[in-house]
């Protein structure tokens, strides 16, 4: 099992260092409560880039972490505190779960991707729409082909190959957002 954040550094420029604060099962609330947000802020430096993706687990607590409530409020806090430190913030919608109805993917995140898109638009934060990308990717690969991206019998957690494919897309998106030269080759060579 692997997340795309763990594979991201291999997809960026040699001088780029990725500090991955992601934790399986984290919500925007637990990320703060467990000290991960504080640890990130302690290492934050002007000019750093923070890539933020939550939602999978927030949606399991809709009373406390509603898409347009506690979830969005915490993401808005993250954006504000990072910008106060002169950092570039990039928001990501959640990667989709691999849940097919026939040949079509069934969306599983409800209003959470829309909340991130709305926040990004309202605050002019660059957005990487991983919900849209992974939905396309799974349908493009098909029911059988997309299974290779995930751990055995798991439609949520990536196998190393799946993490690499998503990291390649995130890296390409970051290079476009940040205006970096695109010297790392085509995304298609990783599929």
Q: Where are the domains of the chain?
A: 4-190
26-34 CB contacts, 8 Å cutoff, 24+ apart: 26/54, 26/57, 27/54, 27/57, 27/58, 27/60, 27/61, 27/65, 28/54, 28/58, 28/65, 28/70, 28/71, 28/74, 28/75, 28/78, 29/58, 29/61, 29/64, 29/65, 29/70, 29/74, 30/57, 32/74
pTM of the predicted protein model: 0.91
Q: Does 4-190 carry CATH code 3.40.50.1110? A: yes
10 vs 59: CA distance, rounded Å: 30
The predicted-structure confidence for 120-179, as pLDDT tens digits, reads as follows 999 999 999 999 999 999 999 999 999 999 997 789 989 999 999 999 999 999 999 999
Whether 96 contacts 109, CB under 8 Å: yes
What lies within 8 Å, CB to CB, of 36 at 6+ separation is 21, 23, 26
The predicted-structure confidence for 1-32, as pLDDT tens digits, reads as follows 888 988 998 898 888 899 999 998 999 999 99
């Amino acid at each position: 099992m692997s997340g795309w954040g763990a594979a991201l550094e291999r997809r960026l420029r040699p001088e780029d260092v990725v500090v991955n604060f992601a934790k399986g099962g984290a919500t925007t609330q637990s990320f703060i409560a467990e000290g991960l947000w504080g640890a990130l802020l302690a290492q934050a430096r002007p000019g750093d880039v923070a890539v933020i993706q939550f939602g999978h687990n927030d949606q399991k607590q809709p009373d406390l972490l509603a898409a347009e409530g506690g979830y969005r409020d915490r993401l808005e806090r993250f954006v504000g505190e990072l910008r106060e430190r002169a950092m570039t913030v990039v928001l990501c919608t959640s990667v989709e779960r691999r849940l097919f109805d026939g040949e079509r993917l069934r969306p599983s995140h409800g209003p959470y991707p829309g909340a991130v898109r709305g926040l990004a638009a309202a605050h002019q934060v660059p957005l990487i729409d991983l919900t849209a990308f992974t939905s396309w990717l799974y349908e493009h690969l098909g029911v059988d082909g997309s299974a290779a991206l995930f751990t055995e019998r798991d439609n949520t957690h990536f196998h190393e190959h799946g993490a690499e494919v998503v990291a390649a897309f995130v890296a390409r998106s970051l290079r476009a957002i940040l205006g970096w030269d695109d010297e790392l080759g085509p995304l298609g060579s990783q599929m």
